[in-house]
Amino acid sequence: MGLLVEPVPSENRLPSKVDVVVVGGGIVGASVALFLARRGVKVALCEKGNIAGEQSSRNWGWVRQGHRDLRELPLMIKSLRLWERMNEDLDSETGFRRAGILFAADSDENVAQNEAWLDKARQHQIDARMVSGSELQRLVPGADKRWKAGLFCATDGRAEPLFATSAVAIAARRSGASVLTNCAVRGLELSAGRVSAIVTEHGRIFCSTVVIAAGAWSRRILKDLNITLPQLKVRGSVMRTSPVEGGPEAALWSTEFALRKRIDGGYSIANGYANVVSIVPDSFRFLVNFLPALRSDLRSLRLRVDDRFIKEWSESRPMPLDEISPYERTRVLDPAPDSAYLRIAFDRLKKAFPVFASATVVQEWAGLM
């Protein structure tokens, strides 16, 4: 059963000319289109499949500052200010709630990692602190497990991936943007070294600026323009449960599981310490680029040799703009979830939180991030 993302119907006609074309209908692309349209920019949003069809609907639904790369923190602080008033601003439910996010530590090593990040993040004056004892237990009602300590960011929140991006895209359309789904961008046309148009499967749109917000596809699109974007993908798996009474309001990460309360009363559950990475040709091309990240997080990576290697190798050659592109052959990246890791996480969750003992698994899915 696929994810039931809130549908966003496509425009019936392709605009002949706009100022900006945004490639990719995820949360980033939809947001770019919205804010440009509100500033009076003529913009078209092109999505090869459906709005939020890939990682924007398949993620955990966390809106966080905690444990961010410090280079991202200033942007995330501003982003949370927007999320705070998003429902009112869009006149639509995004599921956003400021409930906080807790990174729980069950070892001295984990505690030290949390403290080290917090020491560096203090310069940004975010509302984050270390918690322990009774203060920590109040954040995890219903838990039998006792963690040593945790990093808690009270101003972090959660949103619903199944309809947050759709709400943004619909608001962008109301503001004047053209929203085009099932409209793959095959490539760009240049004149005198500058963008002059994009070529879609349905025809050409003249423009002077293009924003690539294509998520896992960005590397492939930019490669045809001789622009190298070092990018590798991680397969993340998630399950959702039936409604649970008495569980935590704050989202929680631990080495055994991660959870987020959903607006329907159920929870999204993931394995907090298992990231599946398929070995692909770019794994070797970008080995040096990603070596520091590999060394720092090697224990959480699960390397796999699977069909992604042949698929990405076969799709790597440049395609003429008058031929069917890889983006049309694969409208949605829909990998199978890693059920074994999810079941391990769910079993550990039920031991830590007896209130989840009667919860049932409603759905599992995965995404390439």
Query: pTM of this prediction?
Result: 0.95
**Pick from 215, 204, 235, 219: which is nearest to 25 by CA?**
215
Measured over the CA atoms of residue 118, residue 120, residue 122 and residue 124, the dihedral's sign is negative
Q: Indicate the helix (H) or strand (E) that contains 170.
A: helix 164-174
pLDDT in tens, 5-35: 999 999 999 999 999 999 999 999 999 999 9
pLDDT in tens, 305-350: 999 999 999 998 888 999 999 999 999 999 999 999 999 999 999 9
Domain residue ranges in the chain = 20-95+161-230+309-329, 231-308+334-369
- pLDDT of residue 298 exceeding 80, the answer is no
Distance CA 254, CA 102 (A): 9
| Averaged pLDDT score across all residues of the chain | 96
**What are the CA-CA distances from residue 306 to residues 164, 235, 236 (Å)?**
32, 12, 15
The CATH topology of domain 231-308+334-369 is D-Amino Acid Oxidase; Chain A, domain 2 (3.30.9)
Secondary structure class of 118 (helix, strand, coil)? helix
323: left (phi over 0), alpha (psi -120 to 50) or beta: beta
**Pick from 44, 13, 24: which is nearest to 172 by CA?**
44
- pLDDT of residue 178 exceeding 90, the answer is yes
pLDDT in tens, 84-131: 999 999 999 999 999 999 999 999 999 999 999 999 999 999 999 999
Distance CA 216, CA 226 (A): 17
pLDDT in tens, 60-79: 999 999 999 999 999 999 99
CA atoms within 13 A on the CB side of 369: 15
In this prediction, residue 164 carries a pLDDT of: 98
Count of CB atoms situated within 10 Å of the CB of 284: 9
Distance CA 134, CA 148 (A): 11
- pLDDT of residue 140 exceeding 90, the answer is yes
CATH number of 20-95+161-230+309-329: 3.50.50.60
In this prediction, residue 1 carries a pLDDT of: 53
Q: What is the mean pLDDT of residues 201-216?
A: 98
Q: What is the mean pLDDT of residues 254-275?
A: 95
- pLDDT of residue 297 exceeding 80, the answer is no
